[in-house]
C-alpha cells in the first residue's frame, strides 16, 4: 500500500523530498502534483519501473507517449538534439509552465525509447516535482493520472487520488488540489510549429 506524503509547494520540506527520491531510486512509482493535473511517474533510468507505469496505463512501453519532467532548460541537452535559437526562445518564454514540448530526441534516450525520434519535455511550474527531479539528478518519466469518469477526466482531490491509487504505486504526494486541464502540447521538432493539444497553457506567445 502506498504512503501518503504531504508536501507544500510554497516551501517543499527537504526531508520529505529526500524520502520520495529514495523510493524513486529503488524503482518505486509515485503520484505527484504539477502545474496542471496530477501525474504518475518514475525514475527515467529504471526500465522495470517504466514498464510498471506503462502497464497501469494499459500500453506497451515502446509505444507509450510518456513525457520527461526536467528541472530546467539546461538539462534538455541530455536527451534532446541541439536546439536552434528561435526554438530555444519559445521554450524560454513558456517554461517553467503548463506545456509539453515535442522535441527531437538524441542518442542518450533510455533504451525503452530508442525507437522514438521525438520526446515530450515538461518543466512544470511546480516546486514539488521540480525539487524531486533536481534531487534525483535525472528526469522523471511522466504521464497524467486519468480518471475513467468522463465528468472528472482528471482526478483533482489528493484524498480521492489516494483511495483509488494506493495499491498501484509506492508514494502519493499530497500537494493540495490539482487542476483538471492538461498541459498544452506543442510540437517544435520540425521547422513548422504545430499545436497538438490546446490545454492550460496559452498559445498567444507563438
Mean per-residue pLDDT of the chain: 93
Interatomic CA distance for residues 37 and 156, integer angstroms: 7
Determine the pLDDT at residue 111: 84
CATH architecture assigned to 3-197: Alpha-Beta Complex (3.90)
Q: Grade residue 154 by pLDDT with cuts at 50, 70 and 90.
A: confident
pTM: 0.94
- Cβ atoms 132, 21 nearer than 8 A: yes
Give Cα 203 distance to the centre of its chain: 20
Domain ranges of the chain: 3-197
166-203 pLDDT, tens per residue? 999 999 999 999 998 999 999 999 999 999 999 999 99
Neighbours of 85 (CB within 10 A): 7
**HSE value, Cβ hemisphere, 13 Å, CA-based, for 11:** 0
Lookup: cell for 50: 517504466
pLDDT digit string, tens, across residues 86-139: 999 999 999 999 999 999 999 888 888 878 899 999 999 999 999 999 999 999
Tell me the pairing of strands 140-144 and 67-69.
antiparallel
Amino acid at each position: 500500500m502506498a504512503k501518503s506524503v504531504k508536501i507544500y509547494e510554497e516551501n517543499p520540506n527537504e526531508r520529505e523530498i529526500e524520502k520520495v527520491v529514495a523510493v524513486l531510486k529503488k524503482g518505486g512509482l509515485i503520484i505527484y502534483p504539477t502545474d496542471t493535473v496530477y501525474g504518475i511517474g518514475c525514475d527515467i533510468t529504471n526500465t522495470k519501473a517504466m514498464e510498471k507505469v506503462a502497464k497501469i496505463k494499459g500500453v506497451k512501453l515502446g509505444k507509450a507517449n510518456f513525457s520527461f519532467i526536467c528541472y530546467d532548460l539546461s538539462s534538455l541537452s541530455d536527451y534532446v538534439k541541439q536546439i536552434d535559437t528561435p526554438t530555444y526562445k519559445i521554450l524560454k518564454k513558456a517554461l517553467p509552465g503548463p506545456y509539453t514540448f515535442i522535441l527531437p530526441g538524441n542518442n542518450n534516450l533510455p533504451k525503452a525509447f530508442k525507437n522514438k525520434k521525438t520526446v515530450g519535455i515538461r518543466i512544470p511550474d511546480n516546486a514539488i516535482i521540480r525539487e524531486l527531479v533536481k534531487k534525483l539528478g535525472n528526469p522523471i518519466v511522466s504521464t497524467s493520472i486519468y480518471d475513467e469518469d468522463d465528468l472528472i477526466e482528471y482526478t483533482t482531490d489528493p484524498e480521492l487520488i489516494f483511495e483509488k491509487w494506493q495499491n498501484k504505486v509506492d508514494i502519493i504526494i499530497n500537494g493540495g488540489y490539482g487542476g483538471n486541464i492538461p498541459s498544452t502540447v506543442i510540437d517544435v521538432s520540425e521547422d513548422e510549429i504545430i499545436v497538438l493539444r490546446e490545454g492550460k497553457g496559452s498559445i498567444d506567445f507563438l
